[in-house]
């Protein structure tokens, strides 16, 4: 892993970073330093650049200027062949769960383990049971995704994100398809598993009720710039 080096206490370091979609600069001069183990929101209006920022952090969009480091990987020097190694350090959770619909929960998780280099059958089975237990879904492992509610599918998606002991979970509107009560359950779960696993979380959301229920720090995308604020400032 040639471009990996330890970076002290931060899981994310962006300095003067430029984030571009096609030829359009979405965010410029981004300076962002997120400590290991920290939970923070990513907020901003539709089109402000939240998803684009997340995509740069998980190596889906190339960094177009400045410096960037995620989990010790230098984003400016990231090669295609480094991306699987970066992704192994991350857990990614999406709004639409993105479970494979043609196989049961256990096989969904097995697929990820096999794709990330695991081979020992017993160890894989143990890890699957462990992560499913940590999200309260161990008894549902033989169910197909369509047999689960949205909240349950998102629990499984969080379990899947935890498989490789990530140092960082990137979540793009993970409660966007859920009712308010289920959203609160998922949020509580995400916060708890992050704390238990000493894992940082960056979670994009539009849901101000949830931010009010679970205050904290937020990264705001606005007018092509990024700033960090306390969520209490949003309700003054
Ligand atoms: N694949 C793409 N090709 C070209 N432009 C894109 C692409 N994806 C996003 N954009 C543009 O980049 C800008 C930022 O979009 P992005 O999806 O990052 O915003 P967002 O804050 O996540 O919005 P939302 O809250 O609606 O998800 C928008 O102007 C959008 O039109």
Task: With cut-offs at 50, 70 and 90, classify the pLDDT of residue 2.
Answer: very low
Asked whether residue 209 is domain-assigned, the answer is yes
Nearest protein CA to atom 6 of ligand 1, as residue: 21
DSSP-assigned letters across all residues of 77-98: G--GGGHHHHHHTEEEEETT--
> Is residue 96 pLDDT above 90, yes or no?
no
Kindly state if the Cβ of 99 falls inside 6 Å of ligand 1: no
Asked whether residue 2 is domain-assigned, the answer is no
The residue-averaged pLDDT of 142-160 equals: 95
Task: With cut-offs at 50, 70 and 90, classify the pLDDT of residue 169.
Answer: very high
The token pair at 40 is 């923070």
Of 89, 226, 213, which Cα lies nearest the Cα of 163?
Answer: 89
Asked whether residue 152 is domain-assigned, the answer is yes
> Is residue 5 pLDDT above 50, yes or no?
no
Q: Which atom of ligand 1 is least distant from the CA of 49?
A: 18
pLDDT digits (tens, 9 = 90+) for 16-36: 999 999 989 999 999 999 999
- Count of Cβ atoms closer than 10 Å to residue 133 Cβ: 12
> Is residue 204 pLDDT above 50, yes or no?
yes
Amino acid 147: pLDDT? 97
Percent of the chain topping pLDDT 90: 88
Asked whether residue 218 is domain-assigned, the answer is yes
> Is residue 45 pLDDT above 50, yes or no?
yes
With H, G, I as helix, E, B as strand and everything else as coil, classify residue 125.
helix
Asked whether residue 75 is domain-assigned, the answer is no
The domain total for the chain is 1
Domain with residue 97: its CATH number is 3.40.50.300
Task: With cut-offs at 50, 70 and 90, classify the pLDDT of residue 8.
Answer: low
Where in the sequence is the domain holding 205, given as residue range(s)?
38-51+88-235
Asked whether residue 73 is domain-assigned, the answer is no
Kindly state if the Cβ of 44 falls inside 6 Å of ligand 1: yes
Question: CA torsion sign, 144 to 210 to 216 to 67?
Answer: positive
Mean pLDDT across the chain? 93
Asked whether residue 66 is domain-assigned, the answer is no
Kindly state if the Cβ of 48 falls inside 6 Å of ligand 1: yes
| Distance, CA of 211 to CA of 206 (rounded, Å) | 9
Amino acid 191: pLDDT? 94
Asked whether residue 196 is domain-assigned, the answer is yes
Cβ partners under 8 Å of residue 10, min gap 6: 33, 34, 35, 36, 69
Amino acid 141: pLDDT? 96
Kindly state if the Cβ of 49 falls inside 6 Å of ligand 1: yes
The residue-averaged pLDDT of 78-87 equals: 92
Nearest protein CA to atom 5 of ligand 1, as residue: 21
**How many CA atoms does the CB half-sphere of 125 hold within 13 Å?**
4
């Amino acid at each position: 892993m040639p471009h990996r080096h330890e970076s002290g206490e931060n899981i994310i370091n962006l300095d003067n970073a430029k984030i571009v979609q096609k030829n359009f600069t979405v965010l410029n001069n981004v300076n962002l330093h997120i400590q290991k183990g920290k939970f923070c929101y990513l907020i901003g209006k539709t089109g402000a650049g939240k998803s684009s920022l997340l995509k740069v952090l998980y190596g889906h969009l190339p960094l177009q200027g400045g410096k960037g480091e995620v989990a010790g990987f230098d984003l400016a020097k990231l090669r295609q062949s480094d991306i699987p190694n970066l992704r192994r350090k991350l857990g990614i959770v999406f709004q639409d769960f993105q479970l494979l619909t043609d196989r049961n929960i256990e096989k969904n998780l097995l697929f990820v383990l096999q794709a990330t280099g695991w081979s020992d059958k017993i160890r894989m089975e143990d890890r699957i049971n462990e992560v499913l237990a940590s999200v309260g879904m161990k008894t549902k492992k033989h169910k197909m995704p369509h047999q689960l509610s949205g909240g349950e599918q998102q629990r499984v998606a969080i379990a899947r994100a935890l498989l490789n002991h990530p140092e960082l979970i990137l979540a793009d509107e993970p409660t966007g398809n859920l009712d308010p009560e289920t959203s609160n359950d998922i949020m509580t779960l995400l916060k708890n598993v992050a704390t238990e696993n000493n894992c940082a979380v960056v979670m994009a959301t539009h849901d101000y009720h949830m931010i009010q229920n679970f205050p904290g720090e937020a990264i705001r995308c606005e007018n092509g710039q990024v700033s960090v604020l306390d969520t209490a400032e949003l309700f003054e």
